[in-house]
Structure 1
Amino acid sequence: MARNLSGYRRTLDLFEGVVGGVAPDAWGAPSPCARWSARDVAGHVTGGQHMIRALAAGEPVPDVNADPARFSPGDALLAWRTARKECAAALTPEALRRPVPVGALGELPLADFLEGYILEPLVHAWDLARATAQPERLDPDLVHHAFATAQLVAAPLRAAGHLAPPLPTPPGADEQTRLLAFLGRPA
């Protein structure tokens, strides 16, 4: 079972850096996520920390897609840091072994789920960076890992209407461009 959560933590660090770089007047900016503002994107990923904490504790998970801005009211960076700290405290060795539901994949230990969860905060870091005119370059190692996960989870997400159809990529496109296009985001 996977125990090295360094990729997961590095992705959270990357996301935190983007949240910290949002100008105070940019939270209402539209994002690449249909009908979501920059605050909605930050709230969605912050809500993801609440979701993981709930999974770790065996509690019901919150809906992080409905009104996601509720997870990041006011100071979005403070809301993020608080949720991240509470989530990290819940990730005990016992919690990391807890089986959690992963859609069509059945159940996986939480630690293994987190290895694949890198995709979520990574891509939304790009969404938030794009929405708020920040640098959009992502860590190539994390992109590579996230792309593998994306190929496993894209079909059910598209079927549920949570993911746009893939876009064409130019010949010779780098892996980040290919990942974003696969997820329906024009890079």
Structure 2
Amino acid sequence: MSATDPRPLYLRAVTQLEKVAAGVTPDLLDRPTPCTAYDLRTLLGHTAGGIHRIAYVGEGGLWLDVPAAGGEIEDGDWAGAFGRARARWTAAWQDDAKLDLAVEVPWGRVPAPAAIGGYVMEAVTHTWDIARVIAPGTELDEELATIVLGIAHQVLPADDRGPDMPFGPVRPAPEGAGANDRLAAWLGRTL
């Protein structure tokens, strides 16, 4: 991945998310997640919706006008839902020229690579959240988390976490914690 093209990194993150989501069973959907605002069903919907939202932006839509992302998802079709979202995103962002655009996302009008980069962080973090519920021992991509943790340190300083920020205060990570756990702790998750 080049510094100006986050698409390969995003596809890597979404592919990992899709693999983790393949382990979701209907009996788990009402369980709480480390992302305390959501139970598993709601977090899965939020995360799949995020892929559709950034795809919609890549299709030329305004983030503020995004329609309901992805529609209703059957309890047993979460992996399929993520696969469809990934396919839509891939089609929406395949044109290299789109990386030269400025786009509107929740944190403002930014260059397209910065917008996609923000969604990389969301996909990696929520993959960790989901894995903690469905298969806590799941090995996640540490290299991917290391890259995202470096970005998170730059764009989400520890001392800039007010009530309007969707991330809690930095939490401690255990000695020797891997990059995924350190990222989760940096974003306010309790390990």
Q: TM-score, normalised by structure 1?
A: 0.82
Structure 2 CA distance, aligned partners of 1:170 and 1:134? 16
Among candidates 161, 181, 185, match of residue 181 of structure 1: 185
CA contact (8 A) 2:128 2:180 kept: no
Report SS of the residue matched to 1:100: strand
1:167 is matched with which residue: 163, 171, 176?
Answer: 171
SS at match of 2:173: coil
Letter in 1 for 2:97: E
| Residue 85 (structure 2) pairs with residue 48 (structure 1) | no
Equivalenced residues, count: 183
Task: Determine if contact 1:16/1:77 at 8 Å carries over to the other structure.
Answer: yes
Q: Aligned ranges for residues 26-175 of structure 1 at < 5 Å?
A: 26-61=28-63, 71=71, 73-74=73-74, 75-91=77-93, 92-101=95-104, 107-108=110-111, 110-155=112-157, 158-175=162-179
Partner of 2:135, secondary structure, is coil
Instruction: Show structure 1 runs of 5+ residues with no match.
Output: none
Query: Matched residues, percent identical?
Result: 30
TM-score, length-normalised on structure 2? Answer: 0.80
What is the letter of the counterpart of residue 101 of structure 2? R
CA RMSD of aligned residues (A): 2.8
Note the residue ranges of structure 2 that are not aligned, 5 or more in a row: none
Shift of 1:112: 4.2
User: Over residues 8-55 of structure 1, what are the superposed CA-to-partner deviations in whole Å (9 max), with x where a residue is unaligned?
Assistant: 111111000011111232122211112311111111111111211221
Greater per-residue helix proportion:
1
